[in-house]
Amino acid sequence: MEGPKVSYRCNVRQYFNEEMLTYKEATTLSSFDDALEELKLLKENGKYTFVLIPEGEVVDPGDRGYIGRHRSAFLRSSKDLASLVSKISGVMREIFAAEKVIAKAWNTAVGAVHQQADKDSMRALQSQPNGYEITFTLLNPQPSHVRASWNIQEATKRYLSPLLSALHDYTNIKVKSQYLHSTNIGVRPKVDQVGGYALNIDQLPHIINPIEAFLGSHVSNNPNLNFILYIPLRDQSPLFIYNQNGEKVASNAFLSPRWGGFLVHNVRVEENASLPVDVQIDERPVMQVFAAQLRLLLGVSPLHHGLAVEEAPAGNAVITDWELDLWLRSHCLENLASSVATLNSLAQLLEKIGNIVINDDIGREVERAVEQIQISHTALSQGQLRDAYLSSRQAKQFSEKAFFDPSLLELLYFPEDQKFAIYIPLFLPIGIPVVMSVLQSLKYLRKKNKQKME
């Protein structure tokens, strides 16, 4: 299967009057960007705008250019058309369409014989048609020391709802939370130079394992992303994470690919305070870390493009519009690649292993999957990203259902010699007299023929 081929359609136009008005009112590039977005009647996935602004204006994007939070990029117009065009095509191909990223998504989903270690494809969760679960855990192994509480329900509503509602139509994300008092991290931190405690980078991989026993959901098979806020023990406070160069990590957090994130939250307790101390955790700094980790784990990862261009940070929106498009595009291709691979392997399997019986239901699922793949292909080629993604999701669901149908079980393997051994005791004794009498009757017929001839 070859990789995806991307084609572009573009047109050039003058500004509209309303756009000119907003331009005149705008004071900063980001407010101009937001105002332009408001003017759009239709916010379509897959359509991008490049705004060329003359030099020296209030909202001059500068030499490098600026990519807004929606689907627009702002470039300084110049007489040098060649460099302008190359900049536009660079931004389009590396950032908005991110051809390399989607090609990689396709290739990994198709599957190679031996996968090499690759950070980006290993970090994010694979595309899951049924959705994800996100669990926030407050891990407080010593509740007699610190009685910590956080209003995580409100915090997720306030800070994560832009992301959740942006992805709401495309995937099903459930957010849950819990407190854990009954376990601790699996490593013992060492004392560091400044009187605190240190977790080195080679201790980090072993932290999660004892906690894992208390995580996980019994009601769904969807992948679970766990975000743990850890309050260190009284005699291990304050606790900091150090990187491989021996420096303190500013965020005091790390993430584990395809699993979740871990953040250490140090609580200052006065010397002679009465235990347990009631602590209300400020959710904003915590959510800043978790939201950044969530972006990486869901696949809204930073692009490694070499272009010198300024990108507007996602901020409160947690995911920008063009990042959402990129997510849709790469996940759509991932779904399509894996559906095609699944159907191919189903066909191959049924050829190789002759004993499997296929029901009509499975045939129908396969037909439906193929239909959805074709719909998705056509939608993609017309740039209708949303429909393409939804069809690809259905295609993946149908193909997985067909492949993993419980009835496809070939247990009736009988080795040849066993089959032989079972039939011989019956057919051999019965066969002998039959064969003898057949021979006899042949002899008789021959004799009769000879007699006739004579």
Partner 1 sequence: MAASIAIRLIFFILLFGCVFAFEDDFHEELLVKPMKNGQVYTSFQFTTTWNVSVEDEKSFEHYHLFSKSLGEVLSHYSVQELHLSLTQGLWHYEKWGYPVHDAPPGAELWVWFRPGTENIDQTWTDLINVLSGMFCASLNFLDHRSVVTPHLAFRPTGVTPSHHQRLFAKNIRYATLPNENVCTENMTPWKKLLPCGARAGLTSLLNAYKVYDTSYHSLGVHFRPICMSDDCSVHGVELVQSLAAVFDPTLTSRSQDWSLKKLFARTMSSSCPVASSSIAMVDLSSNFSSPFTLDPLPSREEIALRGRIKVRYAVYEIRDFARNQRVFNLAAKYKSEMSFSANEPPVVHAQRFQTGYGQAKGGVMSLLYNHHPKENIIVNYLEVIPWFCRVYLHTLKIESFDKTVHDISANGTIRKPMHFHYVPGKDRQRPYHLELLLDLPPNSVTRLSFEFDRALLKWTEYPPDANHGFYIGSAVISTVVRTAKHINDTSESFFLRLHTETLLITLPTPDFSMPYNVICLACTVVAIAFGSIHNLTTRQLIGGISCGENAVLV
Partner 2 sequence: DFFDSGHTNNWAVLVDTSRFWFNYRHVANVLSMYRSVKRLGIPDSHIIMMLADDMACNPRNPRPASVYNNANQQINVYGDDVEVDYRGYEVTVENFIRVMTGRLPESTPRSKRLLSDDRSNILVYMTGHGGDGFLKFQDAEEISNVEMGDAFEQMWQKRRYHEVLYIIDTCQAESMFQTFYSPNIIGIASSKVGEDSLSHHVDPAIGVYIIDRYTYFALEFLESVTPDSKKTLGQFLRVCPKYQCRSTVAVRTDLFQRDPEKVLLTDFFGSVRNVEITMETLSLGNETTNPQMSNQVCRSVNMSDCF
Enumerate residues 298-327 that contact partner 2 by CB under 8 A.
313-318
| Cβ density class 22-37: b for 16+ within 10 Å, e for less | bbeebeebbebbbbbb
CB 144 within 8 A of CB 276: yes
Q: Which helix (H) or strand (E) holds 105?
A: helix 99-110
Q: Rounded to whole angstroms, what are the CA distances from 38 to 18, 42, 70, 167, 212? A: 11, 10, 10, 20, 45
Closest CB to partner 2 among 89 and 153?
153
State how far the Cα of 398 lies from the Cα of 365, in Å rounded to an integer: 5
Closest CB to partner 1 among 45 and 135?
135
Q: Using the rule CB under 8 A, is 227 a contact of partner 1?
A: no
Tell me which residues in 102-141 interact with partner 1 (CB under 8 A).
135, 141
Closest CB to partner 2 among 251 and 384?
251
The one of partner 1, partner 2, none whose footprint includes residue 192, by CB under 5 to 8 A per kind, is none
Among 85, 191, 353, 421, binds partner 2 (CB under 8 A): 353
Closest CB to partner 2 among 37 and 371?
37
Closest CB to partner 2 among 27 and 413?
413
State how far the Cα of 291 lies from the Cα of 449, in Å rounded to an integer: 98
Paired with 399 in beta bridges are none
Tell me which residues in 423-452 interact with partner 2 (CB under 8 A).
none
Least Å from the CB of residue 218 to partner 2: 6
Tell me which residues in 405-434 interact with partner 1 (CB under 8 A).
421-422, 425-426, 428-430, 432-434
Among 111, 143, 313, 315, binds partner 1 (CB under 8 A): 143
Six token digits for residue 420: 């032989």
CB 294 within 8 A of CB 123: no
Closest CB to partner 2 among 92 and 260?
260
Phi, psi of 113 (to 5 degrees): -65, -45
Phi, psi of 51 (to 5 degrees): -105, 125
State how far the Cα of 216 lies from the Cα of 276, in Å rounded to an integer: 29
The one of partner 2, partner 1, none whose footprint includes residue 425, by CB under 5 to 8 A per kind, is partner 1
Among 241, 264, 333, 402, binds partner 2 (CB under 8 A): 241
Strand order from edge to edge, sheet including 190-191: 190-191, 197-199, 239-241
| Cβ density class 263-287: b for 16+ within 10 Å, e for less | bbbbbeeeeeeeeeeebebebeebb
Tell me which residues in 29-88 interact with partner 2 (CB under 8 A).
34, 37-38
Least Å from the CB of residue 146 to partner 2: 23
State how far the Cα of 102 lies from the Cα of 301, in Å rounded to an integer: 12
Beta strands in 394-450, from DSSP E residues, in sequence order? none
Residue 184-223 contact track with partner 2, rule CB under 8 A, x = bound:
--x--------------xx-xxx-xx--xx-xxxx-xx--
Residue 167-196 contact track with partner 1, rule CB under 8 A, x = bound:
-------xxxxxx-xxx-------------
Q: Using the rule CB under 8 A, is 118 a contact of partner 2?
A: yes
Tell me which residues in 27-86 interact with partner 1 (CB under 8 A).
none
CB 373 within 8 A of CB 392: yes
Closest CB to partner 2 among 313 and 431?
313
Six token digits for residue 16: 């509209």
**Helix, coil or strand: residue 275:** coil
Least Å from the CB of residue 217 to partner 1: 6
* Residues at the contact surface with partner 1, assessed by CB under 8 A: 135, 141-144, 149-154, 174-179, 181-183, 213-214, 216-219, 276, 280, 421-422, 425-426, 428-430, 432-434, 437
